[in-house]
Amino acid sequence: MAPQPEAAARIDAVLARIDADLPEALERLLALLRIPSISTDPAFAADCTRAAGHLVEDLAALGFRAELRPTPGHPMVVAHAGEEEAGGRHILFYGHYDVQPVDPLNLWNRDPFDPAVEETAKGRVIRGRGASDDKGQLMTFVEACRAWKAVHGRLPGRITIFLEGEEESGSPSLIPFMRENAAELSADIALICDTGLYDDETPAITTMLRGLAKTEFTVHAANRDLHSGMYGGVARNPLTVLARILGNLHDENGRVTVPGFYDGVDELPDALRAQWQALAFDHAKFLGDVGLSIPAGEVDRTPLEMIWSRPTAEVNGLWGGYNGAGFKTVLPAEAHAKVSFRLVWRQEPEKVVSAFRAWLEAQLPGDVTVEWHDEITGSPASVMEIGDPAFEAARAALTQEWGKPAAFIGSGGSIPIAGYFKTILGMDSMLIGFARDDDGIHSPNEKYDLECFHRGIRSWARVLAAIA
């Protein structure tokens, strides 16, 4: 899978340039980190716009046609380059320039917006809010483009850069903006740099993201709370009814008992299974970190498989009756629950929630009714077409940079942007990021390892060479 000699020479020159330019790249990142672009706090709205403007200027200097595009919230940055490149893939790169709030400020070892490189026992780190999430990460891509341009006088292909300023505050403008500019933003594949390495040394491409569906409801029995001295034993207790039903949401083998729940759930392809097994996921540590020792869930599945490629049905909230101090011998009139489902493969959110509702309703005894509080909402899983040769090419490029086999991994959680790229813009995403678990994103003393920044830039240079 090594590049051809000519291509190798092309990329080697870019990598050398990246190495030589690292001090300046670092200075450029620090300049961006100094802008307190906290998107959720209106007091920092001007700073968000300033950060976007800063990036527009920087991208324009690289030869992008870069624009600051207004939204009802913070502006988007959209930049295009390389339209003259024929034949290659059109790449959309996504990152976000906004950051999380910094409180509690007293837990920081420095001003979060006065970033610096610090020496630590584990090496040099870039300390400051946004160093990892996501300014440091998005700058790895920008710096790769810069080095390529410096060496070869042009970018390695047709690239659109799309940077958001509301990712940390719910992305209210994102979907409307993508819908209104779908033609402009559609590309052959999206690259997203907002995730992490598989472990401290192993690069990864996230190719499976679980979806999410949820439902909230109330089970009603009597028309008012009853005294258990008067009605206990004779009147239906909705707490017991709900407990019985939700207690049977999984069978003895950990499988969800709702009929049709597993429709559209595929088995993991052998190649992917082999890769995941090679990761030697430490499930004892994974559970031990949170005080557990025994995997729950489906008895015939590995923990990694369960988290990345199996669906779940979980009770996120359940309540009813008296929960204050002391005792109240009440038979409550109603009981409440919130239930959510992590979805995989081709599971459809609407079908899953509808099946759950029908399953629950079929089990209600007489006199008991259920009230569903929400419209059925949810997002399906994102499963990338890893048959596209770009995925194997990017994997080889990452493997070469990090000296360890890069993995196609999954994510138990949802990363909405990947789903939107698929449903609104019709393209798959390749999620490649260089964050480490101890980066402390969203926390005090956020950092990005200098090694991650450096190798991240080099990784993108290689990936671009491989797929653009």
Q: For residues 402-431, which are near a copy of itself according to CB under 8 A?
A: 411-414
Q: 387 to each of 269, 272, 424, how far by Cα in Å?
A: 11, 12, 21
Q: Name the minimum Å distance from CB 361 to a copy of itself.
A: 17
**Roughly what angle, to the nearest 10 degrees, separates helices 135-152 and 45-61?**
20
Q: Name the minimum Å distance from CB 215 to a copy of itself.
A: 9
What's the CA gap between 269 and 425, in Å, rounded?
26
Interface with a copy of itself (CB under 8 A), residue from 222, 265, 279, 376:
222
Q: Residue 303 interacts with a copy of itself (CB under 8 A)? A: yes
Q: Name the minimum Å distance from CB 9 to a copy of itself.
A: 43
Q: Name the minimum Å distance from CB 67 to a copy of itself.
A: 34
Interface with a copy of itself (CB under 8 A), residue from 25, 221, 430, 464:
221
For residues 171 to 210, the per-residue mask of contacts with a copy of itself, x marking binding by CB under 8 A and - elsewhere, is ---------------------------------------x
What's the CA gap between 220 and 146, in Å, rounded?
63
* Residue 164 · residue 97 · CB < 8 Å: yes
Q: What are phi and psi of 168, to 5 degrees?
A: -85, 5
Q: 135 to each of 26, 188, 302, 447, 448, how far by Cα in Å?
A: 12, 24, 35, 11, 10
What's the CA gap between 13 and 151, in Å, rounded?
7
Residues that bind a copy of itself (rule: CB under 8 A) add up to a total of: 77
Contacts of 383 (CB under 8 A, 6+ apart): 207, 208, 209, 344, 345, 346
* Residue 97 · residue 129 · CB < 8 Å: no
Site for a copy of itself in 305-364 (CB under 8 A): 306-307, 310-312, 314-323, 327-332, 335-336, 338, 340, 342
Element (H, E) at 235: none
Strand partners, 80: 65, 160
Interface with a copy of itself (CB under 8 A), residue from 101, 260, 297, 444:
297
Q: Name the minimum Å distance from CB 419 to a copy of itself.
A: 13
Q: Name the minimum Å distance from CB 435 to a copy of itself.
A: 15
Site for a copy of itself in 246-285 (CB under 8 A): 246-250, 283
Q: Residue 382 interacts with a copy of itself (CB under 8 A)? A: no
Q: Name the minimum Å distance from CB 57 to a copy of itself.
A: 37
Interface with a copy of itself (CB under 8 A), residue from 53, 231, 279, 444:
231
Interface with a copy of itself (CB under 8 A), residue from 228, 354, 443, 445:
228
Q: Which is nearer to a copy of itself, 135 or 336 (CB)?
A: 336
* Residue 457 · residue 14 · CB < 8 Å: no
Phi-psi region of 134 (alpha: psi -120 to 50; beta: other; left: phi over 0): alpha
Q: Which is nearer to a copy of itself, 333 or 450 (CB)?
A: 333
Q: Residue 212 interacts with a copy of itself (CB under 8 A)? A: yes
